[in-house]
């Protein structure tokens, strides 16, 4: 599990995230320092109730192993025999103790299955941690995207304000048509509405993160807004090998297959008898009832076993079912392995492509579109181009910046999905 090594000062920034939601402190505490994605994940995994629930279920399964070694409780009986009054004054006091015992070896197999079931619960817990980590990282990057989109839209609004001013000046000088002014004002108003929607989306992103942190929706949350775009350098073959070896779904399917194999053995062992051991003590209140007048007490040892007369019919169906369950588990394991190989390969190629697209927008298309807008604004002012050309230039500049942010977000999202498919964080 990848957890950041935090200095003493950084824990102060996380303190508000880890406060008990029910106390009311979590909603009022202020986070003075921006939270990085690793610090957010650390806080989420500490307080998220789904993670806690999965951990408790794992601990619960651990305490269902040893009980398989314990035999069933013995049975104590007392018989009031040959009483002339019905209750009391018996002719014989009879005390009986019986102990049922399974055929030797069954308890070992049952405990073995319980141990694997606990291991499956542990893997389920790790899968919950993995998925919660992915949700936190995806939510973090989505919050960065929507916040950056709001900034880009605000910058676009400022550019449109310049265009509106230019069109008004040219219209007053009879150098532009009134339709240019109306079109510029229309674009300005619609962009202003888009900015309000983007701001709302950014606030909702923070509310989703607060839900993962088990905090009130509008609790303060300050995120680090730095976009660190690094190339993805992990090798595909090593990622595929790691996924096949460590993905939680594959490990769980493998353990399920082993459990089904043990279940088949247990089903076959039902043909074997179970035993009952008993002890009987008789105290003869009437000496004439005793085997001999001088011996009014006797002891009896009993050994019984089940006779599987009907097991050949009933158990034959259980064995057939267990065989099919084992076959299904084996096929399911093979299917998950193959699906994982394909998914890792597809996500790996997508991550590489998203990085190339983001870099191309950052280093070439965004600067080019920005330069095109500045040139077009000057040209329109000098009556060298029409308003439609200027409008197209400003729209290309806006679209290029939006496409860059979306490509970065897609890169992060696919990287998180790749980690989730591999089953563990990818440290480059």
Residue 37 lies in a domain: no
Structure confidence at residue 18 (pLDDT): 57
Q: Judge if 96 and 227 occupy the same domain.
A: no
Tokens representing 203? 């606030």
d(CA 377, CA 389): 9
Q: Which domain holds residue 279?
A: 71-101+273-307
User: Is the same domain home to 185 and 279?
Assistant: no
Alpha carbon distance 275, 303 (integer Å): 7
Q: Looking at the structure, do residues 409 and 280 belong to the same domain, yes or no?
A: no
- Given 307, 323, 353, which residue is the final one in a domain? 307
pLDDT in tens, 119-161: 999 999 999 999 999 999 999 999 999 999 999 999 999 999 9
This prediction has a pTM of 0.79
pLDDT mean over 411-420: 92
Mean pLDDT throughout 40-46? Answer: 92
Instruction: Check pLDDT > 80 for residue 16.
Output: no
Q: Is residue 233 part of a domain?
A: yes
Examine residue 427 and state whether it is found in any structural domain, yes or no. no
pLDDT over 70 (residue 235)? yes
Q: Check: CB of residue 258 under 8 Å from CB of residue 333.
A: no
Q: What is the pLDDT of residues 131-140, one digit of tens each?
A: 999 999 999 9
Give a yes or no: residue 87 inside a domain. yes
Mean pLDDT of 34-44: 89
Identify whether 60 is part of a domain: yes
Residues 239 and 345 in one domain: yes
Taking residues 370-389, what's their average pLDDT?
89
Q: What is the mean pLDDT of residues 90-112?
A: 88
Residue 25 lies in a domain: no
Say if 23 falls within a structural domain: no
Nearest CA to 189 out of 227, 156, 152, 167 is that of: 156
Domain edge (last residue) among 256, 286, 307: 307
Beta strands 92-101 and 297-305: pairing type?
unpaired
- What is the number of domains present in the chain? 2
Whether the predicted pLDDT of 369 surpasses 90: yes
| 387 in a structural domain | yes
**pLDDT level of residue 317 (50, 70, 90 thresholds):** confident
- Model confidence band, residue 290 (pLDDT cutoffs 50, 70, 90): confident
Residue bearing the bigger pLDDT, 331 or 86 = 331
Average pLDDT over residues 99-107: 88
The whole-angstrom distance between residue 399's C-alpha and the CA centroid of its chain comes to: 35
Same domain, 133 and 181: yes
Instruction: Report the pLDDT value the prediction gives residue 402, as an integer from 0 to 100.
Output: 92
Domain final residue, candidates 289, 307, 325: 307
Instruction: List Cβ neighbours of 77 (8 Å cut-off, separation of 6 or more).
Output: 94, 95, 96, 97, 98
170 plus 293 within the same structural domain: no
- The answer to which of 14-23, 135-144, 260-269, 342-351 has the lowest mean pLDDT is 14-23
CA distance 401 to 82: 100
Domain match, 164 and 278 both: no
In 3D, which of 190, 313, 333 has the Cα closest to residue 261?
333
Structure confidence at residue 337 as a pLDDT band (50, 70, 90): very high
Do 282 and 409 lie in one domain? The reply is no
Q: Is pLDDT at 370 greater than 60 in this prediction?
A: yes
**pLDDT, mean of residues 356-381:** 92
Is 376 in the same domain as 415?
Answer: yes
The confidence band for 17, taking pLDDT boundaries of 50, 70 and 90, is low
Q: Are 116 and 82 within one domain?
A: no
Rounded to whole angstroms, the Cα distance separating 321 from 270 reads 14
Q: Is the pLDDT of residue 250 over 50?
A: yes
Is residue 57 domain-shared with residue 113, that is, in the same domain? yes
pLDDT at 152: 92
Residues 156 and 84 grouped into a single domain: no
CA distance 120 to 65: 13
Share of the chain above pLDDT 70, in %: 91
């Amino acid at each position: 599990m990848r957890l950041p090594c935090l200095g003493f000062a950084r824990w102060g920034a996380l303190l508000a995230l880890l406060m008990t939601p029910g106390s009311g402190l979590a909603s009022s505490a202020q986070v003075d320092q921006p939270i990085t994605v690793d610090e957010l994940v650390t806080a989420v995994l500490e307080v998220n109730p789904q993670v806690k629930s999965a951990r408790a279920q794992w601990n619960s399964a651990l305490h269902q192993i040893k009980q398989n070694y314990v035999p069933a409780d013995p049975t104590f009986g007392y018989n009031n025999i040959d009483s002339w009054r019905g209750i009391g004054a018996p002719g014989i006091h009879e005390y009986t103790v019986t102990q049922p015992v399974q055929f030797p070896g069954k308890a070992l197999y049952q405990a073995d299955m319980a141990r694997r079931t606990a291991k499956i619960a542990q893997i389920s817990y790790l899968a919950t941690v993995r998925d919660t980590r992915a949700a936190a990282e995806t939510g973090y990057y989505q919050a960065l995207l929507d916040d950056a989109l709001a900034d880009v839209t605000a910058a676009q609004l400022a550019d449109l304000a310049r265009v509106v001013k230019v069109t008004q000046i040219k219209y007053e000088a009879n150098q532009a048509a009134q339709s240019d002014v109306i079109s510029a004002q229309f674009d300005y108003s619609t962009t202003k509405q888009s900015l309000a929607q983007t701001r709302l989306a950014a606030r909702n992103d923070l509310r989703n993160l607060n839900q993962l942190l088990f905090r009130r929706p509008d609790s303060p949350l300050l995120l680090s807004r730095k976009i660190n775009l690094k190339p993805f350098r992990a090798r595909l073959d090593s990622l595929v090998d790691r996924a096949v070896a460590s993905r939680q779904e594959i490990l769980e399917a493998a353990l399920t297959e082993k459990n089904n194999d043990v279940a088949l053995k247990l089903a076959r062992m039902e043909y074997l008898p179970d035993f009952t051991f008993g002890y009987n003590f008789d105290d003869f209140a009437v000496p004439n009832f005793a085997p001999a007048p001088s011996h009014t007490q006797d002891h009896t040892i009993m050994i019984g076993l089940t006779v599987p007369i009907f097991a050949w019919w009933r158990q034959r169906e259980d064995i057939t079912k267990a065989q099919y369950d084992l076959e299904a588990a084996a096929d399911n394991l093979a299917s998950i392995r193959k699906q994982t190989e394909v998914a890792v390969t597809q996500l790996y190629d997508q991550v590489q492509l998203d990085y190339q697209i983001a870099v191309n927008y950052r280093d070439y298309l965004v600067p080019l579109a920005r330069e095109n807008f500045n040139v077009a604004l000057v040209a329109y002012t000098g009556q060298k181009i029409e308003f439609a050309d200027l409008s197209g230039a400003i729209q290309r500049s806006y679209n290029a910046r939006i496409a860059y942010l979306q490509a970065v977000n897609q890169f992060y999202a696919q990287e998180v999905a790749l980690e989730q498919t591999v089953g563990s964080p990818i440290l480059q």
